[in-house]
Amino acid sequence: MPSRHTDSVSPDIKERYEQLKKTIDTYRYDYHVLNKETISPAALDSLKYELFNLEKQYPRLITPDSPSQRVAGKPLKEFSKVPHVVPQWSFDDAFTIEDAKDFDTKVKRFLKSSYGHDVTPTYTCELKIDGLKIVLTYKKGIFAQAATRGDGKVGEDVTVNVKTIQSVPLRLNEEVDCIVEGEVWMSKSNFKALNVLRRAQGESEFANPRNVTAGSIRQLDPKIVEERKLDTFIYDIAQASIPIPSTQFEELELLKKLGFKVNSNFRHCKDISEVIQYWKEWEKKSPKQDYLLDGIVIKVNEREYQEALGYTGKSPRFAIALKFPAEQVTTVVEDIVLQIGRTGILTPVAHLRPVRVAGSVVARATLHNEDEINRLDVRIGDTVILQKAGDVIPDVVRVLKEMRTGKEKKYRFPEKVYECGGDGKIERIRGESAWRCVNKNSFAQQKRKLYHFTSKKALNIDGLGPKIIDVLLNKQLISSCVDIFSLTKDELASLPRFGEKSAENIVNSIEKAKTTTLPRLLISLSISHVGEGVANDLADYFGTLKKIENASFEALEKLEGVGPIVAHSVFSWFGDKNNKKTLNALLTHVSIKAHVAAKGSLSGKTFVLTGTLSSMSRDEAKGKIRNAGGKISESVSKVLDYLVAGENAGSKLDTAKNLRITVLNEKEFIALL
């Protein structure tokens, strides 16, 4: 937005301003008077933000009935390290009812494979308090230690500070040794009172209760912690000298009996439909509670089944966090464009008026397929609600039809798409929502596959970049990845602007690529969803290409880092006759080095890198992490162990701080290596 005021206001701007005022007032009345959440508060705030910016740019628009104003704040500190006796896992997240049903299906499938027959688990649901995880240790019933979760293996010793929290018992009702887990939180009312005090003292307000809780627990002066009036809910017995009950529900009852404060709103649900009902109920109730809630936790109730399900490398298989609706904003669809993938699938993408959501600026969102466009009735020019959950690709979740002017345009799939090649015809896949190019080996798709095949992360054929591949295709010297290995020095030297030396260099690069690693080969095959991380996970787990080729869907899905979508993609790719034919031909030229999973000081640790490192490139840093047994992720989530932040770190750094993930600067990263 321009900072200077503008006098002239176009009719379109006036019309949008009036619609914004009217729409905001309708939703304001629903939310504040009728206690009805017609759209999320975040989406309503986004509409207000657009209106305020228009008023800033065009002051003449402001009328006495216009909405206006609000504020914000910050905190943080440090402590000695404590190794956890029991590893501290974090839950995988689910965001929709379908995710919850998928979790139920996976649990039952896993239990059936373990027991050899159908098993029907029940569930205990608990509220997911948005605070700071705490681990409490008791010796013979006496409070001995408190630690933060940290990286799951090592936390911070915050014993002195936690002692000031009145709901934490210093002596239990029984003389037991135990380690329990729970959440420290600040009530909304105490948070509000704290900010009133800070305002009166001329200090900036804190942003939210969760940040204050994390900052308070890390204060060096326990008197400050005491003044903050923090509270706790304990929800799990990690270890005990007495028998732990056979169900999750009974475990919560035992915690209450021992003297811990337990949130009383847990419920035993006989099936996933009752779980979903509980989630819907608490989605509506959550704003009225005096503590922050960001979802519910679903746990298999029977301890026997919990033990059978076990853990992945980062989270329990028997539990999942089902989040309430993610952060939402409003924006405008400026265009809808088809994007062709390497498999020929056409994905409609909404080009949006840029907007900040979940910590990053977004200008595009997938509309998935034709059915989704029709379901939403999304049109070019529509004002829409955009949702982004963490680092997941943003989604258009709703159209605000009351914002329409009549100038919006319906989108229809064209009969032809030039980039599909041939006559450009496209078709809808029978029984599916997706459209694809009729020509399944279009020039555009082949090009993209070949660009990828020779790229740095795949077979890394130096000198054989997109421009040269284009020439080789046009000259009909290659038509598939296999042909690359038959190229001769003379053929390359005959190409425009090519000499003996450059031709020789490429031939040498091709020769070098004939011996490769299993992860690189997997990346090169253009299997949907198989990037660096998944390729390394598959190689580490299975060890050989033959074992991956012969792996069942169930075996693939069980692998940490490989969900049902990736498992289906890998399973289907290796089951395709044409792919097998291409792979067999490729293997007459390419040999795979014996794969040995890296083990070292970083085994089991997951890293995200952001910003620029001065002593090494991003790829070199990733290589060092993998050589030490660590894993690389591209997105920041609660299961991350470390974020390595170089110069000019982006929004991932803010997200990591908000999630209380350990952040390493370059010096600390090198020391860790």
| Active-site amino acid positions | 128
Q: Which two tokens stand for residue 359?
A: 């910590």
CB 134 within 8 A of CB 148: yes
CA angle, residues 450, 454, 458, in degrees to nearest 5: 110
DSSP state of 594: P
Give how far Cα 224 sits from Cα of 149, 160, 164, Å.
Answer: 21, 12, 10
* Those residues with Cβ within 8 angstroms of residue 340's Cβ, 6 or more apart along the chain or in another chain: 346, 417, 419, 420, 437, 442, 444, 445, 448
Q: Which two tokens stand for residue 428?
A: 């809808």
CB 514 within 8 A of CB 589: yes
Amino acid letter, residue 276: I
Burial degree of 259 (CB within 10 A; 0-12, 13-18, 19+):
middle
N- to C-terminal Cα distance for the chain? 45
Neighbours of 115 (CB within 10 A): 12
Q: Which two tokens stand for residue 143?
A: 């409070």
473 vs 91: CA distance, rounded Å: 48
Phi, psi of 384 (to 5 degrees): -130, 160
- Write b or e for each residue in 441-474: b if 16 or more Cβ atoms lie within 10 A of its Cβ, otherwise e: ebebbbbbbbbbbbbeebbbbeebeeebbebbbe
Which H/E stretch holds residue 73? none
3-state SS, residue 34: coil
222 vs 164: CA distance, rounded Å: 7
Give how far Cα 524 sits from Cα of 322, 460, 506, Å.
Answer: 35, 9, 18
665 vs 245: CA distance, rounded Å: 44
DSSP bridge partners of 115: none
535 vs 541: CA distance, rounded Å: 10
250 vs 268: CA distance, rounded Å: 10
User: How many CA atoms lie within 13 Å of 563's alpha carbon, on the beta-carbon side?
Assistant: 10
Candidates 320, 287, 340, 353; CA nearest to 16 is 353
Residues in the chain: 673
Candidates 509, 522, 502; CA nearest to 460 is 509
* Those residues with Cβ within 8 angstroms of residue 467's Cβ, 6 or more apart along the chain or in another chain: none
Residue with tokens 């031709």: 503
* Those residues with Cβ within 8 angstroms of residue 209's Cβ, 6 or more apart along the chain or in another chain: 130, 131, 185, 186, 187, 188, 190, 191, 291, 292
Give how far Cα 308 sits from Cα of 61, 199, 303, 513, 641, Å.
Answer: 64, 53, 9, 44, 26
